[in-house]
Homo-oligomer: A and B are copies of this chain.
Amino acid sequence: MVSIKDIAKQAGVSISTVSYALNGSPKVTSETSAKILAIAKELNYIPNAAARQLKKQESRIIGAFLTDFTGAFYGDLLQGMKEVLNRKGYDLIVCSGMQSHRLLPERMIDGAIILDSTFSDEELLDYADRGHKLVVLDRELNHPAVNQVLLDNKAGANLAMDYLIGTGHRKLYVVSGPADTFDSRQRMIAVRQTLDRHPELEAIIIEGDFNKGSGEEAGRIILERNEGPAGVFCLNDEMAIGLYNYAASKGVRIGEEISLVGFDNIDLTQYLEPRLATIDYSKYRWGAMASEQLLRIIGGEEVEHERIYVSLIEADSVQRRSAD
């Protein structure tokens, strides 16, 4: 392992001169500098990240923490994060699982973007108190060192509900997510508000968990009731896919008796027949925004929380009912 010491010896200068030369400081003449650079190259010198980090108290690495690695879901999100960070000379690493939490307090990374339910609010606040910089994508957390970049869940849920209502559905099912996730709670708040505004509607809430299985279960419940045309809002696309599967297994086609709207517009939905109506938002933008905000708080700027806007994708999974 060649270090600046080796270069210094070979060049006949001190290690500080080597360091200055490698960092392009004007404190060394261009001749000395050129000579040092040449030797460094010849020796295949590569600086030691730990040493630099120890002295500079920064790693220029940002960690993105995810609940798990599954999911076609994260591709664009991570790409958005990475491109912004790389442009500013930072690297992105992606982590998952309890064990990896240590990277933040041990100062291996300069900041973290959290979309990871394995962090509790208390844990994150503790890190924030220690001065670590955070951006959260999956919860509301108020702390000067924490910025929020959240989906406009309520607007999305409103769009979905209004779409079903506007296409003439009078009997509605809503398949919720886990009560302990921010996204599900927010979406349900908007759902309930919509239902309060429409007392004429018949609505049933089915508890789901954001996984395909609970979508299948919801399908079973809905089909067994067999009460005629109904509109279903699954609080995420994955459950909607489960519902497609269950319906297919029973010979029922989505978009006929049952209208269905999802949330997230994951890549998979485009392969469903008929296409799934859903709530769309730019995952790339979400990731890019998260990185931008994080770099700002690392830079000491005061920043406001940000919101990612959503839109409705209409599709044939929703059938227009004749007004009755």
Taking beta carbons and an 8 Å cutoff, which residues of A are in contact with B?
Answer: 1, 44, 46-51, 53-54, 59, 61, 63, 68-72, 74-76, 78-79, 82, 86, 91-97, 99-100, 102-103, 105-108, 130-131, 241, 244, 267-268, 271-273
Known A50-B53, A103-B49; judge A91-B82 contact (CB<8 A): no
Q: Check if B72 sits within 8 Å of A72, measured CB to CB.
A: yes
Q: Check if B95 sits within 8 Å of A92, measured CB to CB.
A: yes
Q: Check if B82 sits within 8 Å of A69, measured CB to CB.
A: yes
Q: Check if A271 sits within 8 Å of B94, measured CB to CB.
A: no
Q: Check if A50 sits within 8 Å of B54, measured CB to CB.
A: yes
State in angstroms the CA–CA spacing of A96 and B287 once bound together.
15
State in angstroms the CA–CA spacing of A237 and B51 once bound together.
45
Contacts of A49 in B (CB 8 A): 50, 102-103, 106-108
Q: What is the distance, in angstroms, from A50's C-beta to the closest C-beta of chain B?
A: 4
Q: 8 pairs across A/B with beta carbons < 8 Å?
A: A46-B105, A46-B106, A48-B107, A49-B103, A86-B97, A86-B99, A92-B95, A94-B95
Q: What is the distance, in angstroms, from A272's C-beta to the closest C-beta of chain B?
A: 7
Contacts of A72 in B (CB 8 A): 70-72, 267-268
- In the complex formed, the residue of B with least CB distance to A49 is B106
Q: Check if B91 sits within 8 Å of A95, measured CB to CB.
A: yes
Known A46-B106, A75-B69, A76-B70; judge A92-B86 contact (CB<8 A): no
